[in-house]
Structure 1
Amino acid sequence: MAEIKILGAGPVKRGVTQIAAQFEQGTGHRVNVEFTGAPTVRERVLAGEAVDVAVVPQSAMEEFVAQGRVSADTRVTLGRSRMGLALRKGAAAPDLTTVAAFKQAVAAADAVVVNVASSGNYVVKLLEKQGFSADKAVKQPDTVKVMDHVASSAQNLLGAGQLPEIRELVDKGVAIALAGPLPDELQSITAYDAAVTTASANAAAAAEFAAYLELPAARAAMAATGID
């Protein structure tokens, strides 16, 4: 039996981890799941690190395909994630159902905390388009640190992140609450893909896992985490 190393980024972590456990039970293969920031995953895969499966936003996967870092015929789409805002637990949740309400909520906040990945960059540009100054956004390295900052600060902060990541952190007991998704007109939908890397030392087993990701049970596990 093989040991498969998965290197990924984004809000699909929870679903991929659950699916990996199911795959282990069904096949006897061992699966090592590591998730970190998307920029770090990009650097490591492009550098040729010996991981077996990469899990990244579709934009990054396109680059991996173009650079010959993944086997294109093993590529599968895991699903899509939407953006939302969180606030400190116990704080009054703002209305985010319309663009006008979103702007009012942001104006009332001391800052909007974002990560340094693509989702955070999207929110920074969104705020600028809505007329807010650049210093309205405060950056943290990743979504966990974003939400920790929101939870621990005495300021009136909003934390931006992918909805599945926010829900997972709420479930883990981080002192935040989901304010809601971004309004449809401002929403960012990110699709995530998985593929076997060309540096894989366990390509056959890794391809088994990639195929497993498309089975109904795997799709259901992903949907349960907020990935559609």
Structure 2
Amino acid sequence: MGWRTVLVNTHSKLSYKNNHLVFQTGIQTEMIHLSEIDSIILETTNISITSMLIKRLVDEKINLVFCDDKALPLANLMPFYGRYNNSLELKKQIDWAQEKKEEVWLEVLRQKLINQSRLLFKREKDDQGKRIEEFSCQIERNDPTNREAHAARLYFNTLFGLSFSRQEETDINAGLNYGYSLLLSIFAREIVLNGCRTELGLMHHSQLNNFNLASDLMEPFRVLVDEIVLENQEEKFKQIKKAILALVQNTYPYKGHLNST
């Protein structure tokens, strides 16, 4: 798998030639070998792309993200079949027991709260960090006491101020939404590559959400986006968005090892 994230934000044509992505505008032509590419983000709707290139991106399992006319991630390209035993893995997923799904979802939520508390400790917000750490120990299956929501309110108000709301149209919220959408595309790709369907989730089960399972599994990793936005909260959305691209380029420690997203 490659390591480059290619961002295309100008009027251009993307095509394929000899295992290369070919980028063309009226004044320049560049080529990048497909083996070097992990993700491509099409940030404007003013781009032409050939069907042959799309086919080869699917072959090479390269994540292709389409943005809308506001440069926000809208969709990503995924193959129908991610691995050789796709039907077997799908059957296993369909047969997941409800009790097991609830157990896994509980662990997902616990890890999400632990990661939020670690970010607050890192920012020297020890009292709030300890409180969310307590929530992670108190949360129960199906969260009957709504600990996740209480933690979210405390967490975001600590990071961005008491007047902050996730419902407002601000540069901070636009940055968070952009980053979460990129995370969603990354998880959706990995789910498909492992032979599962993104529609069949653990706790998310909306008929209008084609990425329920990705929405579930990305929860503990939202904090990666939160930290980047926090560090750039005084900037306009355009600058926050550029900083968020580090999300798909950085490596992160996991069980003593460094791993790329």
TM-score if structure 2 supplies the norm length? 0.21
Is the radius of gyration larger for structure 1 or structure 2? 2
TM-score if structure 1 supplies the norm length? 0.23
